[in-house]
Structure formats: C-alpha cells, structure tokens
Amino acid sequence: MPKFEEELDFALELEEPKMFKVFLHNDDYTSMVFVIEILTSVFHKSAAEAEQIMLHIHETGKAVCGVYTFEIAQTKAQQVKQKAKQNEFPLLATIEDDA
C-alpha cells in the first residue's frame, strides 16, 4: 500500500476569551463582615484585600472583585446571590464586559 503525506495549508487562529468584571454593590443592610466573608470564600481574596475591597464598596457604592471568563463570572455572581439569600442579605453581584 502506498504511503501518502498531505500537508494542510491553513492557520488555526485562537482568540483570548472575553473577560468580565464581577462587581459587588453597597446596600444598607448587608454587614461588612459578611461582605468580607464573601470576598474571601467566593473570590479567594486575602483578609487584607477583602477588607480593602469592602471599604471601597462602602465608600463608592461598588467595586470589582475579580475579572473572569463569562461562565466563571456568572458562577461567582450566582454563588454570591445564593450565599446572600441563605444569610438573608440583599447583597448584589453583577457582571460587566471588561472591554
């Protein structure tokens, strides 16, 4: 049987995935301690980072907690919603395009 070698002439272009920012929003009811807990457990921030982000949320109304691919950002926002609901807090997490 003859041996055939064929060279394909096309380039495979890969693109970086679109990234999305996850924000936490300030409200008048969610405790600062709970926000720090969310930042450490969901977003894996150190205690010092979590406190700094929490204060930024408190002072400015919202802050970026991380930048992820869409699926991961969506999952993080859902985890925040679920934990907040379990603890009876109205903490809001949103995602925005990191364009």
Instruction: Dump pLDDT digits (tens) for 27-59.
Output: 999 999 999 999 999 999 999 999 999 999 999
pLDDT at 42: 98
Measured CA distances, 32 to 12, 28, 39, 96 (Å) = 48, 10, 11, 23
pLDDT band at 84 (very low <50, low <70, confident <90, very high): very high
Domain boundaries 19-97, CATH class: alpha beta
The pTM score is 0.84
Backbone phi and psi for residue 76, each to the nearest 5 degrees, phi listed first: -60, -45
Task: Pull the structure tokens for residue 61.
Answer: 């109304």
Q: Map out the domains of the chain as residue ranges.
A: 19-97
